[in-house]
Amino acid sequence: MTSLPSPLEIIPHRAPFLFVDSLTALEPGISATGVWKLTGDETFFEGHFKGRPTLPGVLMCEAIAQVGACAILSDEKFKNKLPLFGGLDGARFRRQVVPGDTLEISVSLGRMSARAGKGSGVARVNGEVACECDLLFVIVDN
C-alpha cells in the first residue's frame, strides 16, 4: 500500500491559510478526503467569537475547496495549473465547529475541463454534517 501525499506536496497553500492537515483518500481527478484538526490555537478563534470560539463558515468552505484542489492538482492533466474559486453554491452550515473538533472533509469532482470544473463537498465532525457546498473552480496557469 502506498502512502498518500501531504497536502503541502499538492496545493500551494501554506500557514496560516492551509486548512487541511492530511489526506485520508485520494482519487486523482475524481475525489479526495482530508482532515483538519482544530487545536484552538488558530488566531481566528480569538475574535470569532469572544467567549464562544466558533470556526467561521467561510473557512469551512475554503477547507472543502482545498481538499477539492488536492483532487484536481493530483491529476497529471492539471500539472502546473492552479484552481481558483469561481463560485460557491448551496452552502449550508449544519452545526457549530469549535476548538478540539476534527473536520473530516470529502469532495467529489464533477465535470472538469481544461479551464473550469465543478465539485461538491461535505465537512463532518464525528460523522455529523457541519457544512456542505457546491464549488466552481476556474483553472489558471500557475
Please identify which of the residues 13, 48, 81, 94 carries the catalytic annotation: 48
**Beta strand 22-27 with 81-93: parallel, antiparallel or unpaired?**
unpaired
CA–CA distance, 117 with 108 (Å, rounded to integer): 11
Give the Å distances, CA to CA, from 37 to 21, 70, 82, 137. 7, 17, 25, 25
- The answer to whether 13 is a known catalytic residue is no
Instruction: List, by residue number, the catalytic residues.
Output: 48
